[in-house]
Structure 1
């Protein structure tokens, strides 16, 4: 699967690895688990990897219900994510028939925040995947999703790829954040390393938050300068006090 334009927003290596894992799973209608600590860019990597897929395939993102995920909630989430016509069926049998019918065409089914799914919900996804009428590549994404899957060994044993999105390594910082936003291209590499050690700690989500605060500071103050004094003030907005 080709890497999409803009993949530099998350480490190219991470996007490439996710794209390779998902592409291989699509070839066999398999399953992939994308995991890693919070803020590492897992969801972004999956979105970029799936922004260009082979003709004839569709991608559906299924949100995990916020409160106490249940099979009934997942069934409704699937129905809504597939944008099926008409009202949600009044029986589970009719709802399942509508969902499995829609999943009869080649489709990547992405479940984000999969770590919040209890075993019955994981079993429901496995049933959809195993159904003889569906053509699904299942992608489970989330910090701790690999631990959630360990609660259902019959599904975990069939995951074709366990793809970790690792923390941003120190040697990668300057190149990655310079591509992430042009603001950082004017900051010397040693200062970028200092920012990462002092605040971001290899977490892309913190770099994104810091970028937003820095943009705002530069827009609202005509004499603002990107120096360590300003950055130290912004660090306090990005990370909670210890």
Structure 2
């Protein structure tokens, strides 16, 4: 293609594009705490985000469990964060990071720290478990991201918290391969009320979503967006976000750049690793 894909006006951006911005509440900026976006991007409620929100909401209604899974980069964590951005009064949301090579002791500490409990972490398990159980006595969504890392003993620990008669937990297990991790503990897997996959964006939806995701894509014909997705994006949000950041910087740092398929082809090589 010889003609530019994106209008030249798109190059008149106010400042060099940083790698990402994060920590901004969802609102005018379209950003959300814990989510990194290219400058100027907005979060978009896709069909997958709506499905995750519905599954999480249903789990909260019965204090159940939900597993959110799908290949890396599809937006699982973002979908859960969007679903839990606003929860009903009386509910709290706690994100528990999974340690590298987690152990039960490490998970116990991770939950304790995530709940921001007062005092030092106890040296023995009994008082730590008592403090955690007491904190989980109020309605709370416990989100465990990167749950695919969890070995069976750690899953058993989470199940013990959920099964404790004094706790009121909705358990959200999220991660690429989290469904396979849960399969290693049938007792917990059988309690999961919803298995929600986050699939790739389909070609037609990818074009519509990216037009809402960032202003750079709004002047691109749908046929070109479909070509970009087929050639590079492959329905994966993380890839599209990286491509957006690279394109922003190309527009800001290269004089009289022509945004055509030749330029995009070069940017594709930056986004995708060599095969």
Structure-2-length-normalised TM-score = 0.84
Structure with a larger share of its residues in helix = 1
Aligned length: 238
Residues 164-195 of structure 1 show CA distances to partners (whole Å, capped at 9, x for unaligned) of 11111011121100111111112111111111
Aligned counterpart, 2:157? 124
Structure 1: segments with no counterpart, 5+ residues: none
- Classify the secondary structure of the residue corresponding to 2:116: coil
Contact 1:10 1:45 survives alignment (8 Å): no
Structure 2 residue aligned with 1:222, among 255, 262, 275? 255
Aligned counterpart, 1:190? 223
Residues 26-60 of structure 1 show CA distances to partners (whole Å, capped at 9, x for unaligned) of 11100000001111100000000000110000000
CA RMSD across the alignment: 1.3
1:173 and 2:203 are equivalent in the alignment: no
Aligned counterpart, 2:107? 74
- Classify the secondary structure of the residue corresponding to 2:192: coil
Displacement of 1:11 in angstroms is 4.5
Contact 1:34 1:141 survives alignment (8 Å): yes
Contact 1:113 1:141 survives alignment (8 Å): yes
Structure 2: segments with no counterpart, 5+ residues: 1-25, 32-41
Structure 1 residues 33-44: aligned runs within 5 Å: 33-44=67-78
Structure 1 residues 117-156: aligned runs within 5 Å: 117-156=150-189
d(CA) in 2 for partners of 1:54, 1:165: 24
Displacement of 1:222 in angstroms is 2.7
The runs of at least 4 consecutive aligned structure 1 residues that moved more than 4 Å come to 4-8
1:22 and 2:65 are equivalent in the alignment: no
